[in-house]
Structure 1
Amino acid sequence: YVLNGESRNTWITPENYREVAVVFGPQFVQRHGLEVANLEGLFMAPLNSLQNALFSRWLSGTLTRLSATFDPPSRDALTQQLLDDCLFILDNACVCLDKGSLQRRTEERIIMARVGEWAADVPDETVNLLELARIAGVPLRQLQQGFKTYTGMSPAQWLRLRRLNSARRELLNPPSVDTTVAEVAMNWSFWHLGRFSNSYRALFQELPSETLKRQR
């Protein structure tokens, strides 16, 4: 991603998920003569599966070489290599968009920014699809297209993942010693306890009862 200093990200990941990131600050970018304005089309633009695979192989290879060598490259040389390779990946991720497509991409980015701001401001609020479309300020069809472009999932799937993560936060910090899994599930609009447990285990690799028991 190229972030503009205003975007807020909400990551939804299982416990013990490991993330490796390469980050270049604005001063570094400017020092190397990169105009952020020229990268506007990459703001919050996801890579496709082939680009992700290319990036993963490159980063894994770089880290492996660093751990195996007795004479690692200088900090400056390594930084330059990382920058060159990252820009190569981003450049290959660019899609030549006509004026109409570029306008749609801009609109979709605005939609996702509105949803992201709402999610960050009220992490405990639950809504349905129509309410989420109202928050985004667009018809449901346009909301679905924006989610498909930027997350690879439907807004309904995203809302379900969000509720599962909210339920996990409550199980990790139960409001009282008498809290039950059923109460937490219903708090987050999961009315079928068996399906909730199955979905929870698929995402977090443990049953909700195990999470609650561990906290106690």
Structure 2
Amino acid sequence: MSSLYETELSLSVDSATSFRYEMAALAHPTAATAAVRFTGTMRTSTRSFPRLIAAHAAQGRHRWQIGGESGDGRTAFIVPPDTEFSAEFGHLHLRTFSVTTEVIEHVLRALLGDEPRRIQFSGLNKRAGNPRLVAETLRFLEATALADGKVAASPLMRSQLMHQAVASLVTAFPLIDADETDQRRPTARAVRRAVAFMEENVGNPISIGDIAVAAGTSVRALQSAFHKAYEIPPSTYLRRLRIEGAHHELRAAHPGSATVRDVAMRWGFAHTGRFAQLYAAMYGEHPSHTLRR
């Protein structure tokens, strides 16, 4: 655990005979997700973590103290970097996501369309707007990135999941002042830049935030401009480009040399059934029919 969270953790167990521990984790240089299960009662503490950590106790008892705050782990919570942390828990199933401040700043620049003000770390848990969103995101990370080796092995899927997790943190917790909004209006040229960026990078692990940065505007403003120009959000446009890429790959593949699931995964679709529905809506047939031709 100390290596995963990049800090020294003090751990003490009430009864070693009844204590058991297991962990599944996926680590990246800038982010990591993990699911930890304990039996027995345990205490842990550290002077600080180098990254921001989001956590949620899916099962068991969990009480935490973070700086001057305290709370119950049954509600998703955040441990800011460089903040003292301690917790006591028993028979616990804990899900976590850790991320560097630099990645959070990148997402905020995309959302705001400009360099954001200093990130606010004080009193985050007391002022949380929608911690349930973070709890659901952590559950999804465990069900995909930690449960499916092909998801974990796909750079596109890993990047999409990381951006989704960071976006949920930015949405659920007041990391910036409420009046930190983007005032710039995107032009038709910005929309064209966004389209060109998506077409050039459709097979790469890009997010809507990356597209907004390339277009020189914010995510919110870009979404508004896209609705005006195409009557769909940019995320739908990107998804259609990726389905088109999967279509070309399925048509070119020899039967037996590829599967629909493998192709879907390469193009960023973790759920084959959902991919098949979207594919059929665009091409009027199941992707397996295209593959067999």
TM-score by length of 1: 0.46
Instruction: Indicate the structure with greater strand content.
Output: 2
TM-score by length of 2: 0.35
Instruction: Indicate the structure with greater helix content.
Output: 1
Q: Per chain length, whose mean CA-contact separation is higher, i.e. which structure has more relative contact order (CA < 8 Å, sep 6+)?
A: 1
